[in-house]
């Protein structure tokens, strides 16, 4: 497919040309200088979901669809999403660029090397590992107990043989034998730090605090004790800049940083979200797994660390998943089953209660499948409306932005209702 020139996409949201650094075809990084050049502040929308099922809920697809729908309504909407890991691409999981007509481009490049951010994290992670083992070996600049090293190695590869390894074999010239492991890069603490860092100084400070092991007397040894942080920052300098790509319909999307949700906070970078808010009217971001784990992490880790706060939540559901939570078997999810759906509403209700507990308004988004019946959809609408929450259908997967207009409208209404300042972090914590 033919994409719009990325410079045009950037111009749409008024990014200065000198801040946009092309990075191969249809990819760019945006200079951190751009943050200082905008005084605007868009409205942040968090897309989360009910708990994931084997059937899939399409959170990323709905995020892209919402951005598309808002753009069709004339808004400068910007998606701010995580970048996918190469490991799972060649392993089990699908790519992380949305699906169908609601996807990001250039999908293949984003799913492979993209702009090299993950490679930079791998390099930084393993440079620290080499410095750690040098310290084990030479006892400088810090003394480490070789049996209590905590820092492992990283590789952006799904490779079972690397989960438990022994390094340093082959005699004194090759180190000291140690049991360790290779984590997939998305599970690296460096990736989590990259996603939280506010600037190069903050990045260096956070890297320096990494706990790499213990001294023989049990005292903690940190990356800063190995004088490691400046070299790591040198390797991560480019990676800290948010990446700009576009939706299939030519709308802007920042795709940046990808810490795994099962071991870290699982959200895109603070800097990409800030950049999107500085240049977009609405910013669509996503938090992993269900609202219970992923969105609470988003609110409790990323938002507390950064001071950001969403204006509202889009909770993605599918009828299939609700029926699954209601006890229907995997083979029967496409068929109507009012009882299972009704039982699944209990699951949905719990998530709506959690959203309300944070003082946030919500829209339920049904990622519509062809087999969904109107009767079932109406039941869902009634259920949520009784709880004061609107439900919007979204056909973004099959129809792109045009199929996402209802969702866009409901979200705009929600945002307009929230005209007061967003609840302060403090009040949400009380």
Q: In the complex, which residues of this chain contact its own copies (CB under 8 A)?
A: 21-25, 29, 86, 90, 108-109, 112-113, 115-116, 119-120, 122-123, 126-127, 129-130, 133, 137, 146-148, 153, 155-179, 231, 234-235, 238
Return the bridge partners of 314, or none. Answer: 47, 363
What kind and span of H or E run contains 399? helix 396-399
**Based on CB atoms, which residue is closest to its own copies, 24 or 388?**
24
**Based on CB atoms, which residue is closest to its own copies, 74 or 218?**
218
Tokens 């180190």 belong to which residue? 175
Write down the least CB distance from residue 169 to its own copies, Å.
Answer: 4
**60, 286 contact by CB (below 8 A):** yes
What kind and span of H or E run contains 334? none
Write down the least CB distance from residue 239 to its own copies, Å.
Answer: 9
**Based on CB atoms, which residue is closest to its own copies, 169 or 335?**
169
**Based on CB atoms, which residue is closest to its own copies, 237 or 417?**
237
**Neighbouring residues of 217: CB distance < 8 A, sequence distance ≥ 6:** none
Tokens of 274: 């800030």
Write down the least CB distance from residue 161 to its own copies, Å.
Answer: 4
**30, 9 contact by CB (below 8 A):** no
Q: Is the dihedral of CA 428, 269, 35, 236 positive or negative?
A: positive
Dist CA 305 CA 403 (whole Å): 36
Q: Could you say which DSSP state residue 315 is in?
A: E
Q: Which of 91, 82, 129 is nearest to 289 (CA)?
A: 82
Return the bridge partners of 48, or none. Answer: 315
**Based on CB atoms, which residue is closest to its own copies, 126 or 404?**
126
**Based on CB atoms, which residue is closest to its own copies, 21 or 425?**
21
């Amino acid at each position: 497919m033919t994409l719009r020139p990325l410079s045009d996409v950037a111009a749409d949201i008024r990014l200065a040309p000198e801040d946009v650094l092309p990075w191969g075809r249809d990819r760019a990084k945006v200079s951190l200088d751009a943050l200082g050049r905008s005084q605007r502040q868009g409205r942040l929308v968090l897309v989360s979901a009910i708990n994931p099922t084997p059937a899939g809920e399409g959170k990323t697809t709905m995020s892209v669809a919402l951005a598309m729908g808002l753009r069709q309504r004339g808004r400068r909407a910007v998606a701010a999403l995580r970048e996918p890991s190469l490991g799972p691409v060649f392993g089990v999981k699908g790519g992380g660029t949305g699906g169908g007509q609601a996807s990001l481009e250039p999908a293949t490049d984003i799913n492979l090397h993209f702009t090299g951010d993950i490679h930079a994290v791998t390099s930084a992670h393993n440079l620290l590992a080499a410095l750690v083992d040098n310290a084990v070996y030479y006892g400088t600049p810090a003394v480490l107990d070789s049996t209590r090293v905590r820092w492992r190695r990283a590789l952006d590869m799904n490779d079972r043989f690397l989960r438990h390894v022994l390094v340093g074999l082959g005699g004194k010239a090759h180190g000291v034998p140690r049991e360790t492991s290779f984590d997939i890069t998305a599970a690296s603490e460096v990736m989590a730090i990259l996603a939280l860092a506010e600037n190069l100084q903050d990045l260096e400070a956070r890297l320096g605090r990494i706990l790499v092991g213990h001294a023989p007397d049990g005292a903690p040894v940190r990356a800063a004790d190995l004088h490691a942080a400046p070299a790591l920052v040198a390797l991560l300098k480019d990676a800290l800049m948010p990446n700009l790509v576009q939706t299939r319909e030519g709308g802007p999307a920042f795709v940046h940083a990808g810490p795994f949700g099962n071991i870290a906070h699982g959200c895109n970078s603070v800097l990409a979200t800030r950049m999107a808010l500085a240049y977009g009217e609405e910013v669509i971001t996503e938090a992993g797994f269900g609202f219970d784990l992923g969105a609470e992490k988003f609110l409790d880790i990323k938002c507390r660390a950064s001071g950001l706060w969403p204006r509202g939540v889009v909770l993605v559901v599918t009828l299939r998943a609700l029926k699954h939570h209601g006890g229907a078997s995997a083979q029967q999810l496409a068929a109507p089953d009012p009882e299972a759906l009704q039982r699944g509403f209990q699951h949905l209700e719990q998530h709506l209660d959690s959203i309300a507990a944070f003082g946030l308004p919500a829209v339920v988004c049904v990622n519509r499948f062809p087999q969904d019946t109107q009767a079932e959809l109406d039941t869902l609408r009634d259920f949520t409306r009784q709880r004061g929450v609107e439900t919007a259908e979204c056909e973004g997967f099959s129809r792109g932005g045009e199929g996402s207009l209802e969702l866009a409208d409901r979200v705009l209404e929600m945002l307009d209702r929230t005209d007061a300042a967003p609840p302060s972090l403090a009040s949400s914590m009380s």
